[in-house]
Amino acid sequence: MRSGKSHRGTDKRGVDRIEDPFLNKGTAFTEAERREWGLLGLLPPHIETLEEQAERAYEAFSTKDSPIEKHIFLRQLQDENETLFYRLLLEHVEEMMPVVYTPVVGEACQKFSHIYRRPRGLFLSYPHRDVLGDILAEIDRDIDVIVVTDGERILGLGDQGAGGMGIPIGKLSLYTLCGGVHPSRTLPILLDLGTNNQERLEDPRYIGWRHERIKGADYDDFVDRFVQAVKARFPNVLLQWEDFASVDAERILARYRNDLCTFNDDIQGTAAVTTGTILAAIAAAGGKLEDQRFGMLGAGSAGIGITGQLIGALKKKGVSEEDAISRFYIMDINGLLHDAREDLDAVRKPLAQKAEAVKEWGKDLTQAIGLADVVRHARPTVLVGATGQAGAFTEDVVREMASYAERPVIFPLSNPTSRAEATPADLMTWTDGKAVVATGSPFAPVVHEGETHVIAQCNNSYVFPAMGLGIIAVGARRVTDTMFMAAAEALMEVSPALSDPHGSLLPPLKDIRTVSRHIAVAVARQAQQDGVADPMTPEKLEQAIDQTMWTPAYD
């Protein structure tokens, strides 16, 4: 087990102690503590409990008019008092998680340079490529989890440059909120290799390195310098890659996944939460996984990752790999992937449909074959969107799907909300209430003909914090594909829809810590079975997980 409280500088006094968010208690410092740490006169005399502080903080939060103002308030609170911040979030998790992370974090990334207040984490810029190790050496505490981005593909918003730092900050907030990872043992990092976003470069407030993006061999060299510096300073850390361009994300994961404890959440985390939710959707609808056909709109990191995870799930059911692949109809910007196309890379070509089978549709293979053709001819029963293209699931396509699928499973996963391929309300209308729906961003329940349909947010927060908790608790040395499969299956097991046909596919966020613990146990057990964590008894394993989970309370 790696984790525990290890924040250094615990002997700080006076203003230095109050300004340290890991040590600050604000008005909750006791009289004795105020005398011991030189705080008399620096704080108002009334001593409050954490509960009273949280009540006052919620009052202030509630006065903010817009989601971005609420986000700024919470970020400022986090920079002032980590314990109070997480106590507030735990008490209002369903209300505040969308403010801390998606969808509001997208706007926060776009406006990052304008709402920047205090430094958090590390900005590792290309001009400093020769001193990355020296920068990391200045971190004066032990770190269990790093989340890193290069800001090139932020959510569905594209290149945000240094503004992408909002993503690692938000992700690590969820590691603590959902998984109980101690906040002092997390570190957000932005690899600033420039930006090709002209709006950012022309913004006089932009705080990043004002240069077009570094790519090619120089990019790979910088990433390698970063990885080697991380390994030297934090050899046992869990390193999560986030919101990299697909071409870089896949290459980086392939290069380093066997070199340190690392994973890519866009590829593997998205795949696990989507697979778990799809398994729940199929089971809730009374079907079997091996009877499904899949339409995947989007062939980026998320789409390919989901496809790979579902193929693995089918293989566990006894389906051959060739047969499993044949059930997937993947589409990118140039249409359906088929093996007559000459523009497919080594990752996507093995997942392409056989051209001979597609020819039977009577289509010209030299032309793009779109979603409407796939639905009409392949008749998928599961449709997943990972495109960032709002409205990509049109009424005609959805009605066609509903004409042959008794309970069409439709997941418009793109976020933020404005980028969803369809709204749940439209999907319910177009399918006469038959669709089983989950989305990538939060949507309100849909009432259709008197029936209320709770819309699950197929959010990675159900998986990656639990992965981190399980990995840290047992000291896993690597992250395996089977650990993500274990997470997906454990997520399916707690789906409310399995016992309530009108229930949500995923548990409510208010239960997220219970869900995270359940998944973490499954992940930790799988790590031991895979030989990447030392064995321990089931009792010791669960005890390790419970000891790792931090609860926001003052010492």
Helix, strand, or coil (residue 447): strand
Helix, strand, or coil (residue 132): helix
Burial of 167-206, coded b for 16+ CB within 10 Å and e otherwise, reads: bbbbbbbbbbbbbbbbbbbbbbbbbbbbbebeebbebeeb
Beta-strand relationship, 238-241 and 145-149:
parallel
Asked if residue 242 belongs to a known ligand binding site, the reply is: yes
E strand segments, 333-478: 335-336, 382-385, 409-412, 436-439, 446-448, 451-453, 456-457
Q: Provide the residue type at 205 as one letter.
A: R
The residues, any chain, with a CB within 8 Å of residue 503's CB and separated by 6 or more, are 284, 454, 495, 496, 497
Radius of gyration of the chain (CA): 24
Asked if residue 243 belongs to a known ligand binding site, the reply is: yes
Please identify which residue in the block is written with the tokens 């340190």: 260
Please identify which residue in the block is written with the tokens 């047969």: 323
Respond yes or no: is residue 510 known to be catalytic: no
End-to-end CA distance of the chain, in Å? Answer: 21
Catalytic entry in 101, 256, 329, 462: 101
From 538, 490, 497, select the one nearest 515 (Cα to Cα): 490
Catalytic entry in 70, 86, 171, 329: 171
Virtual CA dihedral for 155, 159, 160, 161, nearest 10 degrees? 130
Do 472 and 144 contact (CB within 8 A), yes or no?
yes
Respond yes or no: is residue 171 known to be catalytic: yes
C-alpha span between 116 and 110 (Å, rounded) = 11
Asked if residue 266 belongs to a known ligand binding site, the reply is: yes
C-alpha span between 540 and 555 (Å, rounded) = 25
Quick one: angle between helices 166-179 and 82-91, nearest 10? 70
Cross-strand bridge partners of residue 446:
453
Q: Provide the residue type at 498 as one letter.
A: L
Task: Output the known binding site.
Answer: 153, 242-243, 266, 415, 459
Task: Output the known binding site for (S)-malate.
Answer: 153, 415, 459
Q: Mind telling me the catalytic residues?
A: 101, 171
